[in-house]
Structures are given as structure tokens and as C-alpha cells.
Homo-oligomer: A and B are copies of this chain.
């Protein structure tokens, strides 16, 4: 086992050519003679050469490290794991590798990992920002010409590309569906008001309510942590209302599950005594009892699109900030009570590819 690294010079020597030629071979240049090429390749294989991207990258002055950074706020949430997988797919097949880090919603950690990634010379960054991330945090990156794509949560004020799902339309269709089932008082439960996503979903709720010819009541909007526990809390307050709602759209699926828990604790059966609709369509949604009616947003698709967008910008060399919102669709299952109240409308619950494997 030779301890020393095999370099391009070693190859050159062994193959009886110059290092420049070897370099040409490495880059698949058409300038080099077929015979030479194969000889060099043979020698490389024989000596167990491994390319040193660091060195190459140094010479090529930035731009093409073939590394993209991926930063997510909660990898244990399967939503984001899926997203990372989507990114990895396209990034990998484009010959890049992904640097993935998890911030766990900590802005400090986010700052650290982004800095670290920068030191390593990433050629682009995909990030689902931690809560309360300052848009200015990514300023230096774009100033340095490193494309940034923000996903899932947008960052108002930052001049970067972003992909978010159509929160507004999603919420609207959820409300429309419930109204169509005859519900008059529909609550909006869960979520922290200090996020852009919350604003969008709330706006969608409001539009939906008004479009259905109902009145928008402030008291029916009850925020809470976007978690199962938060859902329990929110439904508690909703039930305590003088004029209690008969249905609710929830900030996300976690909240929706909590709402179901809370209902059962009060001897109310979700989907029967009270209609519940979630948002995200996490994997558990279809297996839960009752199966959750929810707005489906394909995280892996977002990952793929984000990666494509990023690669495009990397290749273009110029970062044209563009914003796309991906379509979502309501998946009607049981928790909204559609099954019994209005059998018609049931829209084909989607076949889930996730379980296919």
C-alpha cells in the first residue's frame, strides 16, 4: 500500500507523457489521440489514481466545485427528508454531490453551516430556512455570485429564487370543499403567525370563506404551535367557543392529528361529529384512522424542481431570481366526513408512490 497520493504527474511519468496530456484525458478533451488516451486511462486504473477535486477547483477559480449545499430546518420530519431525496436525485445525476445539513430550526446553527459550506466552495445552495431567518443572512452569498434557492418557506425581501407550494390555493380548496359539504362555521387552527407560510394559508382560508359566501370571523382563527400538541390546544379553544364551529382546516397535518386527538378526548369522532382537513399530506395521513383529508404537496417534487432551478442558475452563471409556486391538490379521505355527508364529491384519493418501493 503506497501511502503517498498518486498524482497526475505520477501517471504522466508512468505513461510516458506530460502532465498536461493527462489533464486533457481527465477532462475528456477531444484533442488527445485515442491511443494515448487509453494508455493513460490504463495507467490510471493500474496505479489507483483518484482525482483531486480540491486542487482542480483551486485552479479553476471558484464557480465549478460541483457541490451544492442543502440546508433543511428539520430532517427528522419526513417531509424534509423527502425533499432532500428529491434534490439528491437531480443533483447527483448532474454529477454534483450534496452537502446536507440540518439546522433543527436554530438560526445560529444555520449561520454556521452556511458559512462552513461557503468555505468549502459550494456552487449553489438550496435552503429551507429556519424560522425567523433574516433575509439578509443570504446577502453575502448572492453578492458572491452563489445562486441560492429558497424552498418551502419563502424569505420576503431576499433577492433569491424560491419555490413554495401554493398555500393560498390549497387552503381555498380545502375551505371550498368543507363549505360544499354544508359547513357554515369553519375554523382555521394552528400555526405560528410570524411566518410567511402562515400568512399565505390564512389568506387562502379567508378567500375561501368569502368565496363560499360565508362570513369571516376573527374568533375562528386560532393559532398554536404547528405540532400535534398545538392541535390539541387549538381544538380545545375552538370547542369552547359560544358558537362552536363544525369543521376546521388545519395549518398542517401534525396539527390536524392533534385536533383529532383533542376531539376524541371530548368524545367527538373526527369525520363524523366534526370535519377536519390537514395540509401537507405526510406519509402517515393516509394510514391514520380516520384517514386524513388533506392538501397534498409533493415534497420530493419540490426538491427536484429546486435542484433543477439551482443547476440552471449555476450553469447560466447568472442568478436570475425567479419565484415559482407549485400546485397542490386536495386529497379527500375520511376525516372531513365526505364519505357520509356528501358521497358525491369524493375525489379519488391518490395512489401513493411513496409506499411502492
Contacts and interface: CB of A to CB of B under 8 A. Distances in A.
Contacts of A97: 99, 101, 113, 116-117, 120
A78 B228 CA distance: 15
A48 B3 contact: no
Interface string A51-80: 111110110011001010000000110100
Interface stretch (A35-43, A81-89, A178-186, A202-210): A81-89
A140 B48 contact: yes
B102 A85 contact: yes
A61 B52 CA distance: 11
Nearest to A145: B3
B92 A109 contact: yes
Contacts of A81: 75-76, 78, 81
A117 B88 CA distance: 14
Interface string A186-223: 00000000000000000000000000000000000000
Nearest to A61: B5
A167 to B, nearest CB: 21
Contacts of A62: 5
How many copies altogether? 2
B78 A76 contact: yes
Contacts of A34: none
Interface stretch (A17-25, A331-339, A349-357): A349-357
A100 B70 CA distance: 10
A243 to B, nearest CB: 29
Contacts of A98: 99-101
A280 to B, nearest CB: 14
A317 to B, nearest CB: 12
16 contacts: A50-B115, A53-B119, A53-B121, A54-B120, A54-B121, A55-B58, A58-B58, A75-B88, A76-B85, A76-B283, A97-B101, A227-B357, A228-B355, A229-B355, A258-B355, A289-B289
